[in-house]
Amino acid sequence: MNRYPLWKYLIIAVALIVSTLYTLPNFYGESPAVQVSTSRSAIAIDTALMDRVEKSLAAAKLPADGIYLDGNSLKVRFHDPDTQIKARDLIQQELGDNYIIALNLLSSSPAWFAKLKAHPMFLGLDLRGGVHFLLEVDMKAAVDKTIERYSGDIRRELRAKKIRYGTLKRVGDSLELGMRDAASLKAAEDVLARMLPNLTLKTDDTLNKLVISIKPEEFVKIQTDAVKQNITTLHNRVNELGVAEPVIQQQGANRIVVQLPGVQDTAKAKDILGRTATLEVRMVEDDPAKVAEAQSGLVPSGYELLDEATGRGGVQKILVKKDVELTGDNINDAQPGFDENGTAAVHINLDSAGASIFRQVTADNIGRRMAMILVEKGKAEVVTAPVIRSEIGGGRVQISGSMNPAEANDVALLLRAGSLAAPMNIIEERTVGPSLGKDNIEKGFNSTLYGFVAIAIFMLIYYRVFGMISAVSLAVNVLMLVALLSMLQATLTLPGIAAIALTLGMAIDANVLINERVREEVRNGVTPQAAIKAGYDHAWATILDSNITTLIAGLALLIFGSGPVRGFAVVHCLGILTSMFSAVMVSRGLVNLVYGSRRRVAKLSV
Amino acid sequence: MELLHFKKDIPFMSYGKLTTAISLLTFLLSVFFLFSKGLHFSVEFTGGTVMEVQYTQPVELNSVRSKLDGLKLGEATVQSLGTSRDVLIRLPNLKDRTSAQLSNQVLAALQADNTQVELRKVEFVGPQVGEELVTSGLTALVLVCAGIMLYLAIRFEWRFAVAAILANMHDVVIILGCFALFQWEFSLTVLAAVLAVLGYSVNESVVVFDRIRENFRKSGMRGKTTAQVIDNAITATMSRTIITHGSTEAMVLAMLVFGGPALHGFATALTIGIVFGIYSSVLVASPIALALGVKREHMIKPVKPKEEAVV
């Protein structure tokens, strides 16, 4: 009666094989690698680039262990960190500033593991070292900025249509426009309703007042856009750092998580994240005499020779004046799009102050070029330098030229990136040095190992053959849990390791319940085979009840916990599930193998 | 090998008065310490900055303190972290500086006279995060209790559910009381441990209750009183209780000894939780269930006689 049908053994065998397979990559360790990626959509990471990197490495006699093209990045593996650093510098030099070259660690497991999607466990920052920030976007500031922009737009529209208005003032989150009489009120309402469809207009006929408020859905859009734009900006800044696998995610309505694993120079990371890039509009000097003079090394005073990106990774020199006409503070928005001829363009929206300055500048400089310059890290780069064809008023600027849609997208992104949509505050920060991360892994692993060994020895002495079976199923539990964590790529943190340890300590409960029950049945004079069956059957109800109550607690932790608590809860919940399988099904399978096939069992070793 | 095999049932329920008195006393003491001393919350809850630095040479804490005092950052505390080379620095939140600037500034000051210092860890938490953690922590606690009670009420009986939760809360309050009494740091990981104890310790009660229910169904137990039935259930599960807890405790002790400072609070909370978990499931939960009047009829649904149609 204590025989499993073949399919049950097959399930156990398959579970064991799969678990072993997915656990294995964790034992291979990691080897140093260099990762090449780009933030510009105009630049492709392809086999041509792979070729270029391979050739330059071969030329410099830096042997690579392997080169892989992986989605949007190129990974080159090296034998030792020394070669890795040299190769990083070489590749950086070879490819230039348009690529992000980062140091990374790649799993050294054989390639066929990667094909099976068998990767090592994903380690959290507390285990591998790095920086974690939680930033909160100041939504009030984002709303303020938008309302300001709209009041500028309203003034401009009314002036353009020559409608005379009284005062425009802000009341709470809405604007009040005072008009002289009913006729002009009607006219203003018509114009604004047509030109600014995102606003809700309400007329107050007795006071000749127009109450203008932003539609609720527009408010939501402002907030989501503000967070999105800040995320884009952060991405750009993080790219400067050359982090291999940065995590930049929205959390809740107005928060952004930034995680930079493996960052060694944490001070620099904080510096760059907190930095503000600025956009400047300056005039270009195309006078051939002055340009020649500058290129010979004698830059005239009041001028600067800057780099201009020409797309496709190239760079050319351009001479610009030092006087700043306009800064990025006056840019409200920049979006990629198309001009009236259907070629790719970037549409820029300026605020009212910016609009009037821009009109003045363009009126004075028709036929000349103006440069949009992004100043970051004290280094200025010309994003684009279009020719002014006519006076541009109204604060809506369109840049078009020899751009393809992807480049237009990049330029719009760079222009937007210059400024944050709303200020952000760091509300949580965690920095873990790499040496502490290593210590944490070692200590966590050791304590789990020692605890496991202690339990296994005790079980062996106390329950003999049944104890041996319990210890084996506990080991299977660890195997399955690690495999599951590797498969799901759930982030393993130090509390997660603690959860593995605790789950093991608790999982043995099921086996103790079973073994005690079997002993009890034997003591009551039941035959050995019947005792095994009765022991497992009786214990099952208890095991189920106690695991479900534990699972309830685990799930609550998972839902309401944050940070370390969640890291604990994920592993804990998974561990409860695997322990039910291993403690009941696997151990019964083993017991059946040992005792089930014998016709006569005189005595159980329990 | 067998350690615990009792020939006769131990009359646990007759000690009911004594154990209830002990429980009540420890419980009240814990509550007293919680209110008089309060919990020593970590930065995660209170907001502030914590830095962990490691020197290559042993360092005098006073010299670190004097360097920090020079920066005028408010009330900074400096303590050693296990060895004389590892130092933990706590700083309050400052309005005019971000944590990034703060920690950079402190590190620069510590490295000023060419001392070899490595920054091992920085943690900064703004005040708004702490409040959220407290609310979500409490929500989790309440939901865990509600979920477990609901499950036990469906699976067993409401009297058992109430008894199990009371016994559990007793464990949790005692852990918190210990943390308040010794002013150990109460961090998020400790909170995770406390909630894990809640799930773990209810396990204990469930095993005993399960046995009680089974006993009620046994024909051999017909003539016995409820107290005797409970005594038998506890005695029968005693061996398992001790061994299971011993195993879990072995694991937790391994963490306490080898896990380093990061796991210390977690392991401490669990150690206390497990010790009191044994006690409470045996000597708190069952007497409460008994006091609430658990009877055989509650566990075994009487077969309903078919209602005859009224003509």
pLDDT category at B177 given cuts 50, 70, 90 is very high
How close is the nearest chain B Cα to the Cα of A314, in Å?
A: 36
Closest A-chain CA to B250 = A451
In this structure, are A73 and A45 located in the same domain?
A: yes
**How confident is the model at residue B252, as a pLDDT?**
93
Distance CA A72, CA A64 (A): 20
- Structural tokens at position A138: 């100041």
In this structure, are B30 and B60 located in the same domain?
A: no
CATH at B260: 1.20.1640.10
CA atoms within 13 A on the CB side of A197: 1
In this structure, are B241 and B192 located in the same domain?
A: yes
In a domain, B54, yes or no: yes
In this structure, are B270 and B121 located in the same domain?
A: no
**How confident is the model at residue A454, as a pLDDT?**
94
pLDDT tens digits along A66-113: 888 877 788 888 888 888 888 888 888 888 767 878 888 788 888 788
In this structure, are B30 and B140 located in the same domain?
A: yes
Put simply, the answer to whether B140 touches A556 (Cβ < 8 Å) is yes
CATH at A547: 1.20.1640.10
Boundary-marking domain end, from B125, B153, B182: B125
In this structure, are A471 and A573 located in the same domain?
A: yes
Question: How many other β-carbons are positioned within 10 Å of the β-carbon of residue B41?
Answer: 18
Most confident listed range (A165-169, A602-606, B162-166): B162-166
pLDDT tens digits along A292-350: 888 887 888 788 888 876 655 567 788 888 888 887 777 777 788 888 888 888 888 88
Q: What percent of chain A has pLDDT over 90?
A: 18
**How confident is the model at residue B25, as a pLDDT?**
92
In a domain, B278, yes or no: yes
| Burial (0-12, 13-18, 19+ Cβ within 10 Å), A273 | buried
**Any B CB within 8 A of A565 CB:** yes
Q: Is residue A399 within 8 Å of A372, Cβ to Cβ?
A: yes
In this structure, are A18 and A35 located in the same domain?
A: no
pLDDT category at B310 given cuts 50, 70, 90 is low
Q: Measured between CB atoms, which of B121, B202, B258 is closest to A433? A: B121
Mean pLDDT of B286-292: 87
In a domain, A247, yes or no: no
In this structure, are B205 and B242 located in the same domain?
A: yes
Residue A197's alpha-carbon distances to A190, A200, A211, A288, in angstroms, are: 11, 8, 14, 48
The pLDDT of residue A451 is above 90? yes
In this structure, are A398 and A450 located in the same domain?
A: no
| Residues of chain A neighbouring B211 (CB-CB closer than 8 A) | 542
The pLDDT of residue A412 is above 80? no
Mean pLDDT of A464-490: 93
Q: Measured between CB atoms, which of A267, A541, A556 is closest to B210? A: A541
The pLDDT of residue A578 is above 90? yes
In a domain, A116, yes or no: no
Mean pLDDT of B160-185: 91
Mean pLDDT of A381-399: 80
CATH at A68: 3.30.70.260
In a domain, A263, yes or no: no
pLDDT category at A496 given cuts 50, 70, 90 is very high
Put simply, the answer to whether B254 touches A430 (Cβ < 8 Å) is no
**How confident is the model at residue B137, as a pLDDT?**
81
In a domain, A508, yes or no: yes
| Residues of chain B neighbouring A426 (CB-CB closer than 8 A) | 98-100, 124, 126
In a domain, A606, yes or no: no
pLDDT category at B29 given cuts 50, 70, 90 is very high
**How confident is the model at residue A420, as a pLDDT?**
62
How close is the nearest chain B Cα to the Cα of A381, in Å?
A: 28
Residue A551's alpha-carbon distances to A482, A502, A506, A578, in angstroms, are: 19, 14, 12, 12
Domain of residue B65, residue span? 48-125
**Any B CB within 8 A of A431 CB:** yes
**How confident is the model at residue A276, as a pLDDT?**
55
The residue of A138, A431, A440, A555 whose CB has the most chain B CBs within 10 angstroms, and thus the best one to mutate to test that interface, is A431
In this structure, are B110 and B136 located in the same domain?
A: no
**In a 3-state reduction of DSSP, which class is residue B89?**
strand
In a domain, B101, yes or no: yes
In a domain, B227, yes or no: yes
| Residues of chain A neighbouring B263 (CB-CB closer than 8 A) | 443-444, 447, 494, 498
In this structure, are B204 and B266 located in the same domain?
A: yes
HEC string of A26-71 equals HHCCEEEEEEEECCCCCCCCCHHHHHHHHHHHHHCCCCCCEEEEEC
Helix (H) or strand (E) holding A546: helix A528-560
Number of domains forming the structure of chain B: 2
Boundary-marking domain end, from B102, B125, B148: B125
pLDDT tens digits along B135-154: 888 888 888 888 888 988 88
Mean pLDDT of B170-193: 90
Q: Is residue A561 within 8 Å of B136, Cβ to Cβ?
A: yes
Boundary-marking domain end, from B78, B108, B125: B125
In a domain, B305, yes or no: no
The pLDDT of residue B300 is above 80? no
Mean pLDDT of A128-135: 84
In a domain, A166, yes or no: yes
Number of domains forming the structure of chain A: 4
Q: Is residue B191 within 8 Å of A565, Cβ to Cβ?
A: yes
pLDDT tens digits along A136-178: 888 887 788 778 778 877 887 787 788 888 888 888 888 888 8
pLDDT category at B175 given cuts 50, 70, 90 is very high
**How confident is the model at residue A10, as a pLDDT?**
93
Closest B-chain CA to A505 = B248
| Residues of chain B neighbouring A501 (CB-CB closer than 8 A) | 251-252, 254-255
Q: What is the full DSSP assignment across A88-125?
A: HHHHHHHH-TTSEEEEEEEE-S-HHHHHTT----EE-H
| Residues of chain A neighbouring B155 (CB-CB closer than 8 A) | 545
Query: What ipTM was estimated for this complex?
Result: 0.84
Put simply, the answer to whether A502 touches B252 (Cβ < 8 Å) is yes
**Any B CB within 8 A of A72 CB:** no
**How confident is the model at residue B301, as a pLDDT?**
63
In this structure, are A494 and A555 located in the same domain?
A: yes
In this structure, are A379 and A474 located in the same domain?
A: no
Closest B-chain CA to A466 = B1
Q: Measured between CB atoms, which of B200, B244, B258 is closest to A447? A: B258
- Structural tokens at position B171: 């464990």
In this structure, are A591 and A447 located in the same domain?
A: yes
The pLDDT of residue B1 is above 70? no
Put simply, the answer to whether A427 touches B262 (Cβ < 8 Å) is no
Instruction: Please count the residue pairs, one from chain A and one from chain B, whose beta carbons lie less than 8 angstroms apart.
Output: 241
Domain of residue A398, residue span? 276-419
**How confident is the model at residue B122, as a pLDDT?**
82
Put simply, the answer to whether A509 touches B247 (Cβ < 8 Å) is yes
**How confident is the model at residue A467, as a pLDDT?**
93
Mean pLDDT of A484-496: 90
What average pLDDT is seen over chain A? 83
In this structure, are B200 and B81 located in the same domain?
A: no
In this structure, are B204 and B67 located in the same domain?
A: no
Put simply, the answer to whether A545 touches B118 (Cβ < 8 Å) is no
Put simply, the answer to whether A561 touches B125 (Cβ < 8 Å) is no
Residue identified by tokens 């009109």 is A359
In a domain, A154, yes or no: yes
Q: Measured between CB atoms, which of B121, B244, B262 is closest to A512? A: B244
- Strand B48-55 relative to strand B83-91, pairing: antiparallel
CATH at B94: 3.30.70.3400
Put simply, the answer to whether B258 touches A425 (Cβ < 8 Å) is no
